[in-house]
């Protein structure tokens, strides 16, 4: 067997190449949009790509699965419940994909997403038991996948984690993320074992009710451009440009920059509507980071933009994305709304906004790659 984990440091994701050294058949799981990186591995080792598997419809990065499968004439595989607008091979729970002498056994492990699967890697000539499991965003290192991405369910996540914990302790765990927004407690390691997580992951020591409460506590911050990325991965939009693919240097400014900003400056609060409604800098307008790509036409290019969030993390990435899209007069407010409040400055509150941008299937089918407006918050015109 040949096995390789490929890490994407920019988005904290992992993809996997599994191949039979006997038949030279290969599978790639959760491929990055940068599919060129897989070509030397396949070519130099003479592997024939038979399967391309997405463990679920990703919401924080654009998948390269369709493009990779088409380029190699491979089967594109997802769980049978995946709601996408393109053809694929539907996988059922318990199904086994042959790969030379290897077997890839499918476990349906919903929770983070309803269609999420884990892939057990088995090498029967060596052992009747699995040696590793690719868990997508179900079981992470030190955490589990968030259940608030597109129809997830915390109770289903509990059942799925319980299913995975019935595997032997020696089974190596290779998740879909080693850092990023899919789990707040990930330790940063790219792999673990069932036994280690069983012993040392705090969530896995909880009964169902506290487990569900922990996963649903607080206002979840959706990933940067989640709306556009998820729709692209479902095949109902084509917005691959919504991924942050660079790390441009954007200027950091302090709280005083808000006071001294010119009258036409836009204080762009990129938190979730619930957070914004609770408290925000006076005069700020709310476009959640999850919806930036679909609401770019609301953000003027000819006015200074100051991005702000709760503490400064989301606003940095939002400012970088705007810069990537050609905005040059954009800065990041260090410390965010929390620092503003702790400095004793006045904050405003409003009634709950209309909520995160939600686009129905029919709307996306007619939208194509165009941007979509909502009436959630409009940036006032000047002059």
Contact call for residues 201 and 158 (beta carbons, < 8 A)? no
Name residues whose C-beta falls within 8 Å of residue 222's C-beta, 6 or more positions apart in sequence: 59, 148, 149, 181, 272, 288, 289, 290, 356
Contact call for residues 142 and 134 (beta carbons, < 8 A)? no
Contact call for residues 133 and 103 (beta carbons, < 8 A)? no
Tokens standing for residue 338? 């929390």
Rounded to the nearest 5 percent, the helix, strand and coil shares of the chain are: 30, 25, 50
Tokens standing for residue 365? 């089918």
Whether 77 is catalytic is no
Catalytic residue among 11, 13, 182, 309: 309
Name residues whose C-beta falls within 8 Å of residue 263's C-beta, 6 or more positions apart in sequence: 382
Q: Give per-residue burial for 73-82: e unless 16+ CB within 10 Å, then b.
A: ebebbbbebb
CA 109 vs. chain centroid, Å, equals 17
Beta strand ranges found along 246-301 (DSSP E)? 251-253, 266-269, 285-286
Name residues whose C-beta falls within 8 Å of residue 184's C-beta, 6 or more positions apart in sequence: 143, 146
C-alpha dist (Å) from residue 202 to 12, 18, 90, 111, 358: 22, 31, 34, 18, 33
The DSSP bridge pattern shows strands 117-122 and 132-136 to be antiparallel
Residue 332, helix vs strand vs coil:
strand
Neighbours of 246 (CB within 10 A): 10
Name residues whose C-beta falls within 8 Å of residue 355's C-beta, 6 or more positions apart in sequence: 273, 376
Which residues form the catalytic set? 309
């Amino acid at each position: 067997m040949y096995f390789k984990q490929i890490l994407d440091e920019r988005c904290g994701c992992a993809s996997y190449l599994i191949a039979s050294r006997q038949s030279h058949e290969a599978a790639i799981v959760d491929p990055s949009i940068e599919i060129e990186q897989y070509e030397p591995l396949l070519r130099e080792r003479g592997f024939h790509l038979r399967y391309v598997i997405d463990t679920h419809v990703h919401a924080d990065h654009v998948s390269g699965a369709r493009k990779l499968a088409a380029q190699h004439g491979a089967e594109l595989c997802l769980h049978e419940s995946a709601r996408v607008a393109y053809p694929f091979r539907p996988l059922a729970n318990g199904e086994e994909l042959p790969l030379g002498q290897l077997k890839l056994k499918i476990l349906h492990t919903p929770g983070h997403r309803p269609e999420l699967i884990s892939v057990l890697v088995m090498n029967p000539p060596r052992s009747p038991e699995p040696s590793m499991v690719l868990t997508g965003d179900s079981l992470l290192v030190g955490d589990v996948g968030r259940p608030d991405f597109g129809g997830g369910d915390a109770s289903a996540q509990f059942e799925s984690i319980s299913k995975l914990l019935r595997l032997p302790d020696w089974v190596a765990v290779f998740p879909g993320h080693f850092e990023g927004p899919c789990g707040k407690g990930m330790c940063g390691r790219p792999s673990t074992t069932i036994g280690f997580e069983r012993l040392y992951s705090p969530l896995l020591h909880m009964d169902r009710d506290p487990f569900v409460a922990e996963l649903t506590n607080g206002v979840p911050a959706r990933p940067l451009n989640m709306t556009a990325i998820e729709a692209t991965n479902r095949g109902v939009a084509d917005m691959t440009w919504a991924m942050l693919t660079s790390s441009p240097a954007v200027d950091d400014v302090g709280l005083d920059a808000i006071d001294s900003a010119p009258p036409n400056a836009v204080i762009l609060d990129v938190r979730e509507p619930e957070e914004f409604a609770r408290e925000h800098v006076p005069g700020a307008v709310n476009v959640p980071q999850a919806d930036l790509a679909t609401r770019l036409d609301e953000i003027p290019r000819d006015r200074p933009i100051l991005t702000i969030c709760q503490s400064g993390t989301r606003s940095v990435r939002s400012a970088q994305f705007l810069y990537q899209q050609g905005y040059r007069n954009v800065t990041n407010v260090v410390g965010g709304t929390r620092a503003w409040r702790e400095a004793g400055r006045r904050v405003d509150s409003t009634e709950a906004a209309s909520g995160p941008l939600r686009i129905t299937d029919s709307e996306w089918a007619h939208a194509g790659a165009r941007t979509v407006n909502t009436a959630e918050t409009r940036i006032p015109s000047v002059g």
